[in-house]
Amino acid sequence: MQKGAILVLSGPSGAGKSTIINAASDEIGEYYFSISTTTREPREGEQDGVDYFFVTKGAFSKDVLQGNFLEYAEVHGNYYGTSLKPIYDALDQGKLVIFDIDVQGHRLVRKKMNDITTSAFITPPSLQALEERLRARCTDDESVIVQRIENAKSEIKAVGEYDFTIINDTVEKAAKEFVIVAKAARLKQSREDEKKFIVEWLG
């Protein structure tokens, strides 16, 4: 069975992270895309276990007390968080666990699971290219686009904290690089793996 591993992806909104994952999905083996757990009610068309894990406030609080969250926050009276339970289940099944999170989230994952974590920062070739893509999407109004651009200027400064940088100039090239990074993530040895290997090697 393949070894489970964690791959953290960050990058500005509009960098094409989802497009790249979809384009590479056939070549990266079994993976689990980490989704958030929330106490808010599902919106129309949302599915439990696909868009979010929908739980009661009681169940959420219980999991918080048991230390089952990587991180959580209260937003407009509801709780959102990253539950560790589905992550550990996926790792046990030998899956690659993919996170699409921001710079702060990457730091949290590193703190808790650095041993088995590989990370990549995905970005268009330039700020100008990002702005063009955000405007071409026609999904956000001007204030949202301006905010996303400001966030991107701040996020790019953390690029050195990542193991790899993928420049999404063309999806085809970026997807090929993503496959290489995903395969490298599975090869990363945890300290536990290293100790076990040394003992076995010495016989």
Question: pLDDT (tens digit, 9 = 90+) per residue, 101-110?
Answer: 889 889 989 9
Q: Name the residue ranges covered by the structural domains of the chain.
A: 1-30+105-203, 31-93
Among 181, 144, 174, residue whose Cα is nearest residue 15: 174
| Three-state secondary structure call for residue 15 | coil
The answer to whether the CB of 80 falls within 8 A of the CB of 86 is no
Burial of 86 (0-12, 13-18, 19+ CB in 10 A): middle
Residue 176, pLDDT score: 97
DSSP state of 52: B
Angle, vertex CA 148, rays to CA 141 and CA 165, nearest 5? 140
Which superfamily does CATH assign the domain made up of 31-93 to? Guanylate Kinase phosphate binding domain (3.30.63.10)
DSSP state of 161: G
Nearest to 28 by CA among 167, 187, 178, 169: 178
Q: How far is CA 127 from CA 11, 132, 148, 149, 152, in A?
A: 12, 9, 11, 8, 8
- Does this chain's domain 1-30+105-203 share its CATH topology with 31-93? no
Is residue 18 classed as helix, strand or coil in its secondary structure? helix
pLDDT, residue 3, reads 78
Taking only the tens place, the pLDDT of each residue in 100-141 is 988 988 998 999 899 999 999 999 999 999 999 888 877 778
Q: Tell me the per-residue pLDDT of 39-87, one tens digit each, with 9 for 90 and over.
A: 999 988 999 988 899 999 999 999 999 999 988 888 888 999 999 999 9
Instruction: Identify the CA nearest to 13 among candidates 156, 176, 161.
Output: 156
> What pLDDT digit, counting tens, does each position of 161-203 carry?
999 999 999 999 999 999 999 999 999 888 888 999 999 999 8
- pLDDT score at 183: 94
The position carrying tokens 């993919």 is: 98
pLDDT of residue 1: 64
Assigned token pair, 196: 């076990």
Residue-wise pLDDT for 29-39, tens only, equals: 899 999 999 99
Confidence of residue 143 (pLDDT cuts 50, 70, 90): confident
Q: Which CATH class is domain 1-30+105-203?
A: alpha beta
